[in-house]
Chains A and B, each alone.
Chain A
């Protein structure tokens, strides 16, 4: 066993000193995971574009509420929807859509209450800002804060649009003066100030501008007005998302794929290294030493196996620490990682016997592995595949590797769910070893 360890350590040392080897085994998979994770990361958490998907439930169904929804949708950061498959969301269905992500997942829902159009801006005496209800996962604080800002901006734009109408403004002022007249507990100074203010407001009626429309200087009056009052109240409702069996971010999908490419790098690298031992003559030295062929194969396999573990462990660590990737089933993930590493080590052994030169083995390796990786979910995630392709993918060990890894990461597999992928992976590994030993026996003592 000591000689097996010695050979494995030697191979790990050689790999570490080979910059290209390290790139393909560790750096490239990480780049792959980050690139595709970033590309497919959406604010809504379900992938597909960068805008946060928000459901608007319009209970008021007025021009004002529709304008608010439109303003919200006009924001680059938000994509608004109010129906799914032709069915308009109500509060219950919107809440459920946010709580349980489907093919499309939504970040939040916004309820515009009935009577929204009748509410008055809060700066008016007796005015009462409308209260919008926002349902969002408490865990997504950053997105919630951002959405609140977008909502305030959209509401303010809508309020300003309304205030541009002199009739609406005068109506508000009349209502306010009537309220002031009726009040008997207003002290004289306040009464005087409010009357002066409302008088000035009447003279300005119809001159309010929507922020951004005509203001061309930083100290334009509209800016001052816009910053001086809260146009709407926002009430947040906690909707804890049920992410069981669903990825909460594109990184939960891209990292297992990155791991797969890292493992392919291991297979390609180590299968070539075994042939390189032959062409460089070092294999002869290994063979004349007092050990069996099995020791040599075991040493190479152990190095490949340990490298596979290292690749997966490194990517998992990065994914968990920096990208919020979950480990829903630690024991399952450990089992999946073992089975996957075993499988790829067996594949490496088999591929190393497919040629007599480094070029032949390298070519044969990639020719065999690339199609398997592509159909097995190495590029397009399995759940994006059409049914027929998903069925075809079953012939690829890569599919089972991805399943085993995702099973521990976001699919929350139980032991029964792991059974099939793990069995397939272990079986492929054993088959690879057996074929490799058989083929090596044909050319040596």
Chain B
């Protein structure tokens, strides 16, 4: 749906995006996971044609350049900053942005109503955005991106500064869109979001795309082993068990945690507590970059 090839963009000496190549497939949700300053927003700006790449190209739907009006009609963007007119109402914001895409009449009214419902703002349609909470503004920010019924939705850090309740509302809304087959590019620095919402995740850092795959494959490739930690009741049996014993805690690194726990059970090992640490995207990021996703 969107293909970016060897995109490069520098600001002075800083290479914000450095040879990024990726493909957003029709119907999938692709996550762009990386810390702040990784180049995610710069990438989005190049994908929608508002920032000129120093090198590389973006093709939308096989043939359109990002700056083509046809390409722009197919893309909806929910920018990271709340891009709304605070002195206009929710409905007025939606109507105005829809009019930029040539919508009018009944289709505009229907679509505005749908977007207000999608954002859970039907009751507040006539209220000025300035009176909304942060979560309501975030939801409206996404709804505005959908008002012209785009084929692809680009969501740039859509949950930044949002309370847990609104965050869940946004997750559910995105899952609904996903269920309807909408193609989405979702940038985030929260691995939980990428893990929950994205079919594939592209790991980016310092302008480079390090790997892109589904979460399981990424973990398999880069996440390392799972770790079982069991606090034993009887440490005398420890010599016959795999792993290392520190005080009364047995620590086992394994690729097959469930099988190993079953094996411990068969051997009659008793423990007061048991935990399994499975590798996640944090571990993947750490393995790929040598630093934690949360360092920034």
Asked if B166 is an interface residue, CB under 8 A from chain A, the answer is: no
Stretch at the interface among A11-19, A128-136, A213-221: A11-19
Chain B interface, >50% SS class: loop
Bound CA–CA A117/B183 (angstroms) = 106
Asked if A280 is an interface residue, CB under 8 A from chain B, the answer is: yes
**CB neighbors of A among B75-102 (8 A):** 75, 77, 79-88, 92, 96-97, 99-102
Bound CA–CA A13/B92 (angstroms) = 10
Stretch at the interface among B48-56, B168-176, B226-234, B237-245: B48-56
A10-B96 contact given A285-B79, A289-B101, A290-B72, CB 8 Å threshold? yes
Chain B, 142-156, contact with A by CB distance < 8 Å: what is the 0/1 string? 001000000000000
Interchain CB contact under 8 A, B83 and A281: yes
Interface size range of chain B in the complex: 20 to 34
Closest 10 CB pairs of A and B: A281-B83, A290-B69, A281-B81, A289-B100, A6-B99, A290-B72, A445-B52, A287-B50, A17-B87, A288-B48
Q: Which residues of B contact A289 (CB under 8 A)?
A: 72, 97, 100-101
Set A3, A14, A280, A288: member contacting B81, Cβ < 8 A: A280
Set B49, B70, B102, B144: member contacting A285, Cβ < 8 A: B144
Interchain CB contact under 8 A, B88 and A285: no
Q: Which residues of B contact A444 (CB under 8 A)?
A: 50-52
Chain A interface, >50% SS class: helix
Interchain CB contact under 8 A, A284 and B69: no
Q: Which residues of A contact B (CB under 8 A)?
A: 2-3, 6-7, 10, 13-14, 17-18, 280-282, 284-291, 444-445
Interchain CB contact under 8 A, B50 and A288: yes
Asked if B206 is an interface residue, CB under 8 A from chain A, the answer is: no
Asked if B73 is an interface residue, CB under 8 A from chain A, the answer is: yes
A18-B83 contact given A285-B97, A290-B73, CB 8 Å threshold? no
Interchain CB contact under 8 A, B70 and A290: yes
Interchain CB contact under 8 A, A290 and B99: no
Set A2, A7, A280: member contacting B83, Cβ < 8 A: A280
Chain B, 176-220, contact with A by CB distance < 8 Å: what is the 0/1 string? 000000000000000000000000000000000000000000000
A288-B75 contact given A10-B88, A18-B87, CB 8 Å threshold? yes
Shortest CB-to-CB span from A307 to chain B, Å, is: 16
Q: Which of B75, B82, B96, B144 has the most CB of A within 10 A?
A: B96
CB nearest to A279 among chain B residues: B81
Asked if B122 is an interface residue, CB under 8 A from chain A, the answer is: no
CB nearest to B92 among chain A residues: A13
Q: Which residues of B contact A3 (CB under 8 A)?
A: 99-100, 102
Name 14 interchain pairs, CB-CB below 8 A, sorted by A: A6-B99, A10-B96, A13-B87, A14-B88, A17-B128, A282-B85, A285-B79, A285-B97, A290-B70, A290-B72, A290-B73, A290-B101, A291-B100, A445-B49
A281-B79 contact given A10-B88, A18-B87, A288-B72, CB 8 Å threshold? yes
Q: Which residues of B contact A280 (CB under 8 A)?
A: 81-86
Interchain CB contact under 8 A, B82 and A281: yes
Asked if B67 is an interface residue, CB under 8 A from chain A, the answer is: yes
**CB neighbors of A among B97-139 (8 A):** 97, 99-102, 104, 128
Q: Which of A3, A14, A289 has the most CB of B within 10 A?
A: A289
Bound CA–CA A281/B67 (angstroms) = 19
Shortest CB-to-CB span from A295 to chain B, Å, is: 9
Q: Which residues of A contact B72 (CB under 8 A)?
A: 288-290
Bound CA–CA A139/B128 (angstroms) = 53
Q: Which of A7, A281, A290, A291 has the most CB of B within 10 A?
A: A290
Shortest CB-to-CB span from B100 to chain A, Å, is: 4
Other 6 A-B pairs with CB < 8 A, given A281-B81, A285-B83? A6-B96, A17-B87, A17-B88, A280-B84, A286-B100, A288-B72
